[in-house]
Structure 1
Amino acid sequence: MFPREFRRKFSTRPAAAGLTAVLLLAASERAQAADVSPSGAQPSAVPSTTPPSSDVPASVLQPSLAGGLDTLHRTLIDWQVVLGGGAMIQPSYEGSSSFEVSPVPFVMATFGEHVKFDPTGLSVDVYSLGNLYFSAKLGYDLGRKEDDDAYLRGLGDIDAGAVLGGTVAYEMGPAEFYATFERIVGGSEGTQIQFGVDLNHQVDRFIFTADLSATWADETYMQSYFGVTALQSAASGLPQYQADAGLKRVDLSLAVTYAFDEHWLVRGQAGLGYLLGDAADSPIVQEAFQPSGLIAIGYRF
């Protein structure tokens, strides 16, 4: 089973790059634990080089550079840094019937046992009791631009904002049951709660993952993303619409990760979301089914 701290916890569009990093690092941890590399050995550190004294100017540059690279290499290993990238296809906005392909570069690092950074923000493990875990999150929400799709013209932009949140998760064999809370400060000023279950299974160097989740949003969030005010109706031609709090969507994702060795991994993932309730009924929504897919490769130091 994947280490608990690297499981999927957020599924919003802006988190795509961070999600990829989390999953690839999880697979890397799993690969190392199962010793899937040919040698099973941990990467060896570059031998330390002591810079020569300043009275030998001709030989200062190369040893100093080697020493600096050694320090950088050790830091990348200590912080469990993952670098990678890929491509993702997804609706141009939540509810769109058209798709966009976008790159997903990412970097992720772990500081000590409890603090982690990825493109979605900073997370901190707060407390654990047996198989029950609690963590806090500081991230961001990118909002929505009306030029993301021609269908949004006249609706105006939803500004970006900070995200304050937390997660509670419980492990049970190959499954993890989780619930996340996200409060957006600035931008939509809305709140989302996601709950779901994550399953994973390893066969040799392959790791198979399935995740099923549902997302609830408050009235402020729903009205920001799916409502149409009188002014927006006049500017866009869409009918006026009031979106109330409730279940926003359900999501199912299936993925497979292949570990070439203890460093290199490649992952393919397919997802299907379905909008519900007032979100699905919104005149902004062109299609309730929201499929997506990604392919990514990562390297862990």
Structure 2
Amino acid sequence: MKNFTGLLLIIFIHGFFFQTALAQDGKTALVPLPSVDDFTRGKDGWAFGLGLGIEYETAYEGSDEFGVEIQPAGAVQWRRGNDIFYFAGEALGWRGLRADTWLLEALIGFDEGREESDSDDGRLDGLGDTEEGFEVVLQARRAFSNDWRYWLVSRLVTGDNGNLGLFGVGRRFGDKTDGSGSEINIVAVFHDSKYANTGFGITAQQSAASGLDETRLSGGLRSIGIDYNYRHNINKNWQIFAEALYEHFSSDVRNSPIARSNYEAEVGIGFIYIF
């Protein structure tokens, strides 16, 4: 971690003191949305961004504990026309623009699961660790016009721990086409019984070990959420990004003893250097 941090510091100094070109290079992103990474500057071929983000977030889903976490940011991307293939963190995926108003995306990611140690207050003692595993994410956004001012969004997450679906609307602020600016999304989130019980259910064995009431959830509405994304090009190579997320749980989820809070929240900020 020290060597990695030192490398970022060197890149940071290089970017600010030796880079003379300022923010806009006039290139167009695949779609002008701050939530969609695009380091290609409108060109076909390889692109690479590397950075760090700092997040302040709930310790686990339903937790009333918060903590700070440092996460790597950026991605390796390859673009050909209106298609981008990418590797970002623990996700390998593709996104493509169709008819100027459809953004389609598919990725394979990794679900880290939950560990008893995620709660410093011992709230998860006796529940054991939830299994890690891969998940497939399919997403589609349909814009009302090719300037991507308003859109509809849908997402399906499926894996060993069940299925989750998301439906909502979005709004972009700003007029630049390089992916900078800000956006907001309001969504309704649904899960099946397997996904619900992976996060908030308590089996008879877990109940005996933890002292919490045995809990079995059915599928349905999980939450109503709102998220805000911001991205700004400091100069040709440096970006600053930020995100805030709030998810208010449904009554079924709130009734679980695991849900110590009625909501989940997260705020984060970070920098990315584009090579």
- Name the structure 2 match of 1:264: 238
Change (3 A) 1:112 1:255: closer
Kept in 2, the 8 Å contact 1:238–1:283? The answer is: yes
Number of equivalences: 238
Query: 2: CA distance between counterparts of 1:109 and 1:192?
Result: 27
- Name the structure 2 match of 1:247: 221
TM-score, length-scaled by structure 1 = 0.71
Query: 1: CA distance between counterparts of 2:77 and 2:164?
Result: 26
Please provide the CA RMSD for this pair. Answer: 2.6
1:298 aligns with 2:272: yes
Query: 1: CA distance between counterparts of 2:230 and 2:47?
Result: 22
Change (3 A) 1:120 1:250: farther
Query: 2: CA distance between counterparts of 1:117 and 1:197?
Result: 27
Bigger Cα Rg: 1
C-alpha displacement of 1:5: 8.9
* Post-superposition CA distance 1:82-138 (Å, at most 9, x none): 101120010000100010110011230222333222124112247834523433221
C-alpha displacement of 1:293: 0.7
- Name the structure 1 match of 2:7: none
Kept in 1, the 8 Å contact 2:172–2:183? The answer is: yes
- Name the structure 2 match of 1:3: 30
In the TM superposition, 1:104-123 aligns within 5 A as 104-113=71-80, 114=83, 115-123=85-93
- Name the structure 1 match of 2:104: 134
- Name the structure 2 match of 1:195: 167
Pick the structure with more helix per residue.
1
Q: More deviation in 166-175 or 84-93?
A: 166-175
In the TM superposition, 1:48-197 aligns within 5 A as 78-113=45-80, 114=83, 115-125=85-95, 128-129=98-99, 131-149=101-119, 150-173=122-145, 174-185=149-160, 188=161, 190-197=162-169
Structure 1 gap segments, 5+ residues each? 9-21, 34-41, 43-76
Kept in 2, the 8 Å contact 1:121–1:138? The answer is: yes
Query: 2: CA distance between counterparts of 1:137 and 1:288?
Result: 30
C-alpha displacement of 1:179: 0.8
TM-score, length-scaled by structure 2 = 0.78
Query: 2: CA distance between counterparts of 1:247 and 1:120?
Result: 27
Structure 1 SS opposite 2:198: helix
Kept in 2, the 8 Å contact 1:252–1:272? The answer is: yes
Query: 1: CA distance between counterparts of 2:31 and 2:93?
Result: 13
Change (3 A) 1:120 1:175: farther
- Name the structure 2 match of 1:56: none
Kept in 2, the 8 Å contact 1:247–1:277? The answer is: no
Amino acid of the structure 2 residue aligned with 1:281: N
Change (3 A) 1:256 1:136: closer
Query: 1: CA distance between counterparts of 2:70 and 2:100?
Result: 39
Query: 2: CA distance between counterparts of 1:78 and 1:136?
Result: 20
Query: 2: CA distance between counterparts of 1:215 and 1:152?
Result: 24
Query: 2: CA distance between counterparts of 1:243 and 1:259?
Result: 45
Query: 1: CA distance between counterparts of 2:126 and 2:198?
Result: 14
Amino acid of the structure 2 residue aligned with 1:241: T
Q: More deviation in 161-170 or 237-246?
A: 161-170
Kept in 1, the 8 Å contact 2:34–2:231? The answer is: no
Structure 1 SS opposite 2:128: coil
